[in-house]
Structure 1
Amino acid sequence: MESQRSILIIALAFVSFLLWQQWHEDYGPKPIEPIAQDTTQVAAGVPSASTSVPSTGSEDVPLALSDDVPAVQASASASQSTITVTTDTLDLTINLVGGDVVEADLLKFPVTQDSDEPYSLLRPANGLYVAQSGLVGRDGPDGNASGRPLYQAASSHYDLEGDSLSVPLTWSSNAGISVTKTFTFYRDRNDVKVEYTITNNSGQPAQFEQYAQLKQTTAEQKGGNMFMPTYRGAAYSTQDDRYNKYGFDDIEDERLRETTVGGWVGMLEHYFVSAWVPPQDETNTLYSLMVNGQYAIIGYKGASSTVESGQALTLSSTLYLGPKDQDRLAELARGLDLTVDYGPLWMISKYLFKLLQILHDLVGNWGVAIILITIIVKGAMYWLTKKQYESMAKMRNLAPKMQQLKDRFGDDRQKMSQAMMELYRKEKVNPMGGCFPLLLQMPIFLALYWVLLESVELRHAGFILWITDLSVMDPYFVLPVLTGASMWMLQKLQPTTMTDPMQQKIMQWMPVMMSIFFIWFPAGLVLYWLISNVITLIQAKMIYASMEKRGINK
């Protein structure tokens, strides 16, 4: 098989896959557009205290949303019902009604490069996305008939000054039960510890269940394009399955009901993730709900805990709001680092990213690191490239003998196949030798594609001159044009035995077609392809020179 034909088939298959993805995004089923309403009202819903989640998870988790719980009119008196917390990484707004995190800005990640506006992960309006938590169960304050508890705070604003900051919110009932909900923040970290200290002075045992959930609108928002598809939706983990994507369509079709030790739930949007991580040594029930086809909820509910009269109990969980930092996420919970979704080739991508990190630590530039990793990969595969070119040369030299076989056996395919196999054996030629190295390189190319697409470290990472962000397309199309030119030079260097005029025309236009496709690719990926072509040109020159010395015609 000819190398050029192999490239054509692989490239067209890859592009066809991307075209299908984009078609599905543009013309596939769409979520129902939300009806205009007060988002604070919808944000008020929490699990009901009337019933608890059975350990089997076979029954629905009753979620009392806006139909059952009085609306929280936070918009009318925002200064009285919310507090703000600012650290070196987060700028949060916490609603004192329920103690929910209703807004979160990531201070180290601007919306666009060189922008002063931070990326908004959680938002209370115009695309509702909030993190709710509380206590339900028989005596839980978040499920009684009067609605969510109204916590009290000592200040309306808190700033991180040392290495950590604790923000306590307090609530007490007329029955003698008091709850302190404490948010603990840490310097240079995006995980927040949420802790409940329950004191029971009611004169009788009290029962509570901790819950936490993420709620987000399913309304379509700006995402990726055909060549940079991005995922926005939910995900979760259980003891048996480390990572499960759980899209909005899945939530609408079938509610999640999983009882597991540990686990976590999260919402993903490209480079960023919000996640609730319950105690990893306790049994939790993961659940989901779609509200009116407009708002998706995914959360967890802990086991029932009893607090005897005169006693106190502490329950805790972790809320992560930030970038998909693989190292930090892996520390928080098993499988949480897999939210950096490298697709089916994640094992290759994982090690490519580790190698990229090492190279970046050495040179301090992600573009240079991509060049170095390309040199390493191509160098490691040189022996395969050499076999490929030598096999292609031998196949071209066999062309006259192959034509003789065709003339001799005509339409007798069986005899023709046997004669060809005998010829290959006699001449010691592997007909797959020309395309096998290409097939081996494609997984590496695709794995690196997902690394450059998903790794937040490459977001807004500059290279040189006009390339200030390797995660987006080259703004002046210089790299795609150079890549097309390098492909054209490779074509000229590699003679072909193609005789079909249509195939010849397709191959002649292939560099132009690929240059157009590369316009939408991340600049880092095009840089990898360009350097790979340049190295291949150098290697081909070396291989052909060696072949000529040994008397092998190219």
Structure 2
Amino acid sequence: MESQRTFLFIGLMLVSFLLFQEWNNDYNAPKVDPSANTQTLQTNSPDSDDYVPSSTDGELPTAATTAKRSVIEITTDVFKVKIDTRGGDIVETDLLQYEETKGSTTPYMLLGEFDGKQYFSQSGLIGLNGPDKPGARPIYHTKQKTFALTGDELRVPLTFTDSKGVSFTKTYVFKKGQYDVGLEYTVNNTTAEPIQVQLYTQVKRTVQDKGSLVDQNYLGAAYGSAEEKYEKYSFSDMADKNLSINTQGGYVAFIQHYFVSAWVPSQEQQNTLYSLIAKGNAAIIGAKGEPINVQANQQATLGATYYMGPKESDILEAIHPNLDLTVDYGWLWFISQPLFILLKWLHSILGNWGVAIIAITVIVKSAMYPLTKAQYTSMAKMRALQPKMAALKEKFGDDRQKFGQATMEMYRKEKVNPMGGCFPILLQMPIFLALFYVFLESTELRHAEFIFWLTDLSAKDPYYVLPILFGASMFITQKLQPMTVTDPMQQKMMTFMPVIFSVFFLWFPSGLVLYWLVSNLISIAQMLIIYRGMEKKGIKVRG
């Protein structure tokens, strides 16, 4: 396979991959009927936008509170959080260590309301005696409306007492430097009869459309169970069928580019993982625990952990063994994970993510040098056989059978493998795609600076210098080798390939384009070294 065809193959593979992703997103785009699945949404009030799961044990008694709701604010070193006293839900979260946009002073809002779209974290107690009722959730009380972390831990208690005198204390536990928040429910049964409660935790997010062709990051729900370590459950999946899985432990999450929010219930009990499309086009994924009996004049505590922050593998794995899989490297995760570890190690030494990208590209290309050498050597030998190939065509004319037999015999005598240029490319493609996902998914590259005008490796090059240089590197590579393809259509495609790729890469994150540019430059250097060695052996390579 000639090098021009190799470039064409790589280009078509990359473009086809992204187009397939785009088609897959379009084909599976959520087509939500506003009335779909709302039969499972039990609300008695038209003003209620909260979903309270049905108890596993019978009907819920009618109860409501008319107390006035309010919002309390919590500030830590990493969060600014707002909690609605109605239900005690987290309705807004600002990540103080992350900018909304590069250079801005506004922190990144992970949870909240965005142009009418909601993204909330909800939790409550249902069951026969739980305070959370369909359409009538409890209004919690606090001693103050603002809280601030001053030490290593901040506990924010919210209390509610029902009409029977049962006391419920919902406590959020924030810790210094941590994005995981503890949830503790303390139930104090002061009555003479046993009561039953059941903890549910869920994330609610308005159904959203996919991003652009370049933005291929997954936006949607995911879950893990005892059987499935990590499974995506998209908006369209929710519209088609409500999730209902009984499992030991597990977790549920909503994933977006660079960030994730996830509920991790008790891993010591059976949980029900569920989903639905609720009123207002809201997609919900949650976990419901086992019913807990609290005896008369006794207390019981139920708990879960909620994570809301960056997709950092080490932190997520510490919360749940499989939660790090939400850093979604796709089906090549087993290659991407080691490459990311190497990238982080290089950054720890070099101190610059752009330089680390260059370094890992050099390492990967050097490790694959034997494959590259085999590829270029095979292509050069094939080019050297072009005169003999032309003679065989002249000799056998339209007799394809005899021409094919003569060609294979020539290959055997010359010890040339006609597929020798293809196999190395096929072996290298998984590495390239794995690195593609590493650069796409790594939170560390968000707003990471390189040099000069490249102040954000996760954004496109503002002056399009890298895409233009990439196109120039492709043009140089073509010029180093003569155009050997004879098909007019292929010749036109090869001629315009540098331009096509330059335009295609204009909107790519600059970190990705930097990788491809450096990879191309190294390939050019390797090509010159390999060809010079072959020419010294008398093998005509160019011209």
* Alignment TM-score > 0.5, same fold: yes
1:91-490 aligned within 5 A: 91-124=80-113, 126-143=116-133, 147-220=136-209, 224-292=211-279, 294-490=281-477
CA distance in 2: counterparts of 1:198 and 1:284, whole angstroms? 20
Distance 1:353 1:41, change over 3 A: farther
CA distance in 2: counterparts of 1:497 and 1:90, whole angstroms? 60
8 Å contact kept, 2:354–2:450: yes
SS of equivalent residue, structure 2 residue 523: helix
Q: Aligned AA for 2:404?
A: S
CA distance in 1: counterparts of 2:233 and 2:285, whole angstroms? 9
Per-residue Cα deviation, 1:338-376 (whole angstroms, up to 9, x for no partner)? 111111222221111111100000011000000000110
Q: Aligned AA for 1:19?
A: L
Identical counterparts, % of pairs? 54
Per-residue Cα deviation, 1:373-406 (whole angstroms, up to 9, x for no partner)? 0110111111121122211111111112222333
1:534 matched to 2:524: no
CA distance in 2: counterparts of 1:69 and 1:13, whole angstroms? 60
TM-score (norm 2): 0.92
> Which blocks of at least 5 consecutive residues in structure 1 are unaligned?
54-61
Per-residue Cα deviation, 1:416-469 (whole angstroms, up to 9, x for no partner)? 333322221211111111232222222222221211111111110010000011
Measured on the aligned residues, the alpha-carbon RMSD in Å equals 2.5
1:506 maps to 493
What is the Cα deviation at residue 103 of structure 1? 1.1
Distance 1:34 1:63, change over 3 A: farther
2:40 maps to none
8 Å contact kept, 2:250–2:265: yes
1:5 maps to 5
What is the Cα deviation at residue 32 of structure 1? 5.2
Task: Compare relative contact order (CA 8 Å, sep 6+) and give the higher one, 1 or 2.
Answer: 2
SS of equivalent residue, structure 2 residue 214: coil
What is the Cα deviation at residue 28 of structure 1? 7.4
What is the Cα deviation at residue 146 of structure 1? 8.0
What is the Cα deviation at residue 324 of structure 1? 0.8
Match of 1:546 among 516, 529, 533: 533
SS of equivalent residue, structure 2 residue 460: coil
Q: Which moved more, 1:97-106 or 1:16-25?
A: 16-25
8 Å contact kept, 1:47–1:63: no
Runs (4 or more) in structure 1 with deviation over 6 Å come to 68-73
Match of 1:43 among 45, 49, 53: 49
Aligned residues: 531
Q: Which moved more, 1:10-19 or 1:200-209?
A: 10-19
Distance 1:377 1:20, change over 3 A: closer
SS of equivalent residue, structure 2 residue 491: helix
Distance 1:41 1:324, change over 3 A: farther
Distance 1:404 1:107, change over 3 A: same
SS of equivalent residue, structure 2 residue 170: strand
Match of 1:81 among 46, 54, 70: 70
CA distance in 1: counterparts of 2:79 and 2:481, whole angstroms? 55
CA distance in 1: counterparts of 2:486 and 2:31, whole angstroms? 51
TM-score (norm 1): 0.90
8 Å contact kept, 2:30–2:236: no
Per-residue Cα deviation, 1:46-77 (whole angstroms, up to 9, x for no partner)? 1234x449xxxxxxxx999xxx997999xxx7
What is the Cα deviation at residue 275 of structure 1? 0.7
Distance 1:313 1:244, change over 3 A: same
8 Å contact kept, 2:127–2:198: yes
SS of equivalent residue, structure 1 residue 448: helix
CA distance in 2: counterparts of 1:9 and 1:209, whole angstroms? 57
1:29-40 aligned within 5 A: 29=29, 31=31
Per-residue Cα deviation, 1:148-206 (whole angstroms, up to 9, x for no partner)? 12221111100011111111111222323212111100111110000111122211211
CA distance in 2: counterparts of 1:69 and 1:421, whole angstroms? 85
What is the Cα deviation at residue 209 of structure 1? 0.9
